[in-house]
Amino acid sequence: MKNYKTFLMIGVISSMLITACSNGGSSVNASTDSTSETGGNDGSATNVKSKILMELFTSTTCGPCLPQNNTLNKYLDPTSSTYAGDLADDWIVLRYHVWWPSAGDPYYDFNTAPVINRESYYDVGYVPHMYTNGSTDSGGTATTWRNNARAAVDGQTPVNIQITGARDGYNLSGNVAFTSASDLNSLGLKFYIAVTHDNSQYQAPNGQTAFDQTFIDFLTLDTTSDAVSYGEPLNLGVGETHTKSYNWTLDSNWPNNSGVSWTNEDLTLVVFVQFANAGANEKRIFQVEAFSFD
Please report, for the domain that includes residue 286, its CATH number. 2.60.40.10
The number of domains in the chain is: 1
Pairing of strands 232-234, 189-197: antiparallel
Average pLDDT over residues 258-276: 96
pLDDT of residue 18: 26
Query: 75 lies in a domain?
Result: yes
Per the structure, the complete domain to which residue 24 belongs is given by 18-38+50-292
Query: 13 lies in a domain?
Result: no
237: pLDDT strictly greater than 70: yes
Phi-psi region of 265 (alpha: psi -120 to 50; beta: other; left: phi over 0): alpha
Asked if 208 and 66 touch (Cβ cutoff 8 Å), the reply is yes
| H or E element in which residue 119 lies | helix 112-122
Query: 30 lies in a domain?
Result: yes
Query: 9 lies in a domain?
Result: no
pTM for the whole structure: 0.86
Question: How many other C-beta atoms lie within 10 A of the C-beta of residue 175?
Answer: 13
Q: How sure is the predictor about 32, in pLDDT bands with cuts at 50, 70 and 90?
A: low
Query: 240 lies in a domain?
Result: yes
21: pLDDT strictly greater than 70: no
